[in-house]
Chain A
Amino acid sequence: MVVDSLQGYLLIGFFGLWFALSVASQLPTQLSQRIQKLDVFNMIPRWNFFAPTPGMYDVNLLFRDRLPDGALTRWREVPRSTPPRFINPVWNPGRRHNKAVFDVTRHLADQSSRYRDTPIQVQLSVPYIAILNFFSNLSRPYQACQTQFLLMQSYDRASTNEPSVIFLSALHAL
């Protein structure tokens, strides 16, 4: 490959810059964090799949409601997307919802530890509102006036780890 034109140099600059930013973004440095912060459109890939700490747990979405008489319902779990089937290696439409659950939970957990002393900031964050919006719109066979959600992590039955709470919301009007 011989590059001897302005077009060639322009393209080397374009692809070179994109690749250099991609490399820099893989390293656990301040520069990498800065690139991710500026990369609002997710143009720079991050390739550290399942590493260094893989997700070895499932996220469970639970909610309970306050009824008009003031009583609280028991906690109920929102089922995960379609359970695995033999066709999933080629066709897996539920994967995006399951990944969204994982992403929004991780985002909320980050916000929660970042604004530990100002919970109102957490309640105004996008992941909190997204999850609250999701739970608030679930169909219910009864009339409820408030709802509260709970995000938990659970492990394989063979594991010695007990399920634990990731996040417990406040009660919100429906």
Chain B
Amino acid sequence: MINFADRQATIQVVERLASVGMVIASLESLLRPQTMSDTGLCSWRVHQLVNKWFINRYFQSTIGWFLPYPRVLCLIVIRLVCAATLLVGGAGSEVMRGALTASIVMISFLLTVRSTYGRDGADQMLFLTFTTITVAHAFGSAVARDLALWFLAAQACLSYLTAGVAKLASPIWRSGAALPGIFGTDIYGHAWVRNLLARYPVLVKTGSWSMISFECVFPLALVGVPALTVTLIVAGATFHVATAVFMRLNTFLWAFIATYPAVLYCSGVVRL
């Protein structure tokens, strides 16, 4: 049983859930490094042309020193070790946990500087979560932890609301055409879902409007009605499990459910 009235315990749960996502993301990058190599789409030899600062001699001898392939893989190994340590609870003191989360933030930041190709919403949310937790650890006060949790909860609500409103404003989503279109692709699609949607057209609009409705109402999780909060959290977790299974968005699951303890804390749900 987790006590979500305890801000320190809540931050630890956020940290561990986000660490699962970070461990998976790091291992995936290490075991499929070709994309980051000099011959891959995220080659640093090419991407340093993005900004004139990146080819500056001072930058190249400092931050830029870490970014060429295969040296950059060492950074990912360090990030993996930091996330794994947080996940298994290997960092006892808050100072140690702060150092580990700060390392994860710095390395994730460097990887974003290196190339934004291939970066997705899960990476954005994990970066935001670890930065927020690092600030909470750095100040170590109750106020810092409270503000960090409120900020995370607010970003979670903003993410769902933005996605929901953007879909609501889109004729493709309102008509239901988006779902069969997405599930028909190789990159995010799924043959079983595509066939199901083709066989039962009623599911197309129902699915589309269910997603729009869920995303638009998610911020109500913060109004302080425990039953509503828990319902939305369960719906959100189910949604992310479904996108992991059918769209293979595996790290989205961990990145987004990592924010749920913050939502529970801010909405006043004490235990789950």
Residues of chain A at the chain B interface (Cβ within 8 Å): 1-3, 5, 7-8, 11-12, 14-15, 18-19, 22-23, 26, 40-42, 45-59, 80-81, 83-84, 88-104, 107, 126, 129-131, 133-134, 137, 155-159
Contact present for B28 and A92 (CB under 8 Å): yes
Name the distance in Å between A136's Cβ and chain B's nearest Cβ. Answer: 8
Contact present for B147 and A11 (CB under 8 Å): yes
What B residues does A59 contact at CB under 8 A?
Answer: 187
> What would 13 more interface pairs be, CB under 8 Å, given A134-B41, A137-B39?
A1-B146, A1-B150, A8-B141, A11-B144, A19-B158, A40-B51, A42-B112, A51-B178, A84-B190, A84-B248, A92-B248, A99-B187, A107-B117
Chain B: residues with Cβ within 8 Å of the partner, total of: 78
Interface centre among A46, A48, A96 (most CB of B within 10 A): A96
Interface of A is mostly: loop
| B77 interfacial by beta-carbon distance below 8 Å | no
**Contacting residues of chain B (158-180) with chain A, CB-CB under 8 angstroms:** 158-160, 162-163, 166-167, 169-170, 172-173, 177-178, 180
Contacts A56-B178, A93-B32 given; indicate if A126 touches B158 (C-beta within 8 A). Answer: no
Residues of chain B at the chain A interface (Cβ within 8 Å): 24, 27-29, 31-32, 34-35, 38-43, 45-47, 49-51, 109, 112-113, 115-121, 124-125, 128, 132, 135, 139, 141-144, 146-148, 150-151, 154-155, 158-160, 162-163, 166-167, 169-170, 172-173, 177-178, 180-182, 184-190, 194, 198, 241, 244-245, 248-250
- Of the candidates B31, B41, B141, B172, which one forms a contact with A93 in the assembled complex, judged by CB atoms under 8 Å apart? B31
Residue of chain B at shortest CB distance from A106: B117
What B residues does A94 contact at CB under 8 A?
Answer: 32
